[in-house]
A and B are shown apart, each in its own frame.
Chain A
Amino acid sequence: MGEASKISRYLYTVIVLFVIWLFLTSNLDPQELTIGLLFSLIVGALTYEVFTERGLANFHPRRVAYAILYIPYFLWAMIMANLDVAYRVLHPKRPINPGIVECKTVLTNNVGKLTLANSITLTPGTITLDVKGDRYFIHWIDVKDASVEGASDHITRPFEKFLKVIFE
Chain B
Amino acid sequence: MIAEIVGEFLVLFGTIFYFLSSLGLIRMPDVYNRMQTATKSATLGSLGVIIGVGIWAIGHVGSYAWLPKTLVIAVFLLLTNPISAHALIRAAYKSGIPLWEGSVVDKYREYLEKEEGKEEVSDETKEGEQ
B91-107 CB mask vs A (1 if < 8 Å, else 0) is 00100000110111111
Taken together as a complex, chains A and B put the C-alpha atoms of A69 and B27 apart, in Å, by 36
**Contacts known (A23-B71, A99-B103, A100-B105); A128 close to B17, Cβ less than 8 A:** no
Nearest A residue to B85, CB-CB? A121
Taken together as a complex, chains A and B put the C-alpha atoms of A132 and B107 apart, in Å, by 13
Asked if B43 contacts A99 (CB within 8 A), the reply is: no
Taken together as a complex, chains A and B put the C-alpha atoms of A78 and B78 apart, in Å, by 12
Asked if B99 contacts A78 (CB within 8 A), the reply is: no
| Interface stretch of the complex, out of A1-9, A41-49, A52-60, A83-91 | A83-91
Residues on A with C-beta less than 8 A from B105 are 99-101, 143, 146
Asked if A82 contacts B40 (CB within 8 A), the reply is: yes
Q: Could you tell me which residues of chain A, from 79 to 138, have a CB within 8 Å of some CB in chain B?
A: 79, 81-82, 85-86, 89-90, 94, 96-102, 117-119, 121-130, 132, 135, 137
Asked if A124 contacts B82 (CB within 8 A), the reply is: no
Q: Which of A23, A79, A117, A123 contacts B72 (CB 8 A)?
A: A23
Nearest A residue to B79, CB-CB? A118
Q: Least Cβ distance of A133 to chain B in Å?
A: 11
Taken together as a complex, chains A and B put the C-alpha atoms of A27 and B39 apart, in Å, by 34
Q: Which of B27, B89, B102, B103 contacts A89 (CB 8 A)?
A: B27
Asked if A129 contacts B71 (CB within 8 A), the reply is: no
Nearest A residue to B70, CB-CB? A23
Q: Least Cβ distance of B130 to chain A in Å?
A: 29
The contact size tier of chain B is 35 or more
Residues on A with C-beta less than 8 A from B111 are 102, 132, 135, 137
Q: Could you tell me which residues of chain B, from 26 to 51, have a CB within 8 Å of some CB in chain A?
A: 27-30, 32-33, 35-37, 39-41, 43-44
Asked if A125 contacts B36 (CB within 8 A), the reply is: yes
Q: Least Cβ distance of A50 to chain B in Å?
A: 15
Taken together as a complex, chains A and B put the C-alpha atoms of A137 and B28 apart, in Å, by 21
Taken together as a complex, chains A and B put the C-alpha atoms of A79 and B85 apart, in Å, by 18
Q: Which of A22, A26, A96, A143 contacts B33 (CB 8 A)?
A: A96
Q: List 30 A-B contacts (CB under 8 A).
A: A20-B72, A22-B68, A23-B71, A24-B72, A26-B68, A78-B43, A85-B41, A86-B20, A89-B20, A89-B24, A89-B28, A94-B27, A96-B28, A98-B102, A100-B103, A100-B107, A100-B108, A101-B105, A102-B107, A117-B86, A119-B82, A123-B40, A125-B36, A125-B40, A127-B32, A128-B86, A129-B90, A130-B108, A137-B107, A143-B104
- B contact residues vs A (CB 8 Å cutoff): 17, 20, 23-24, 27-30, 32-33, 35-37, 39-41, 43-44, 64-65, 67-69, 71-72, 78-79, 81-83, 85-86, 89-90, 93, 99-100, 102-109, 111
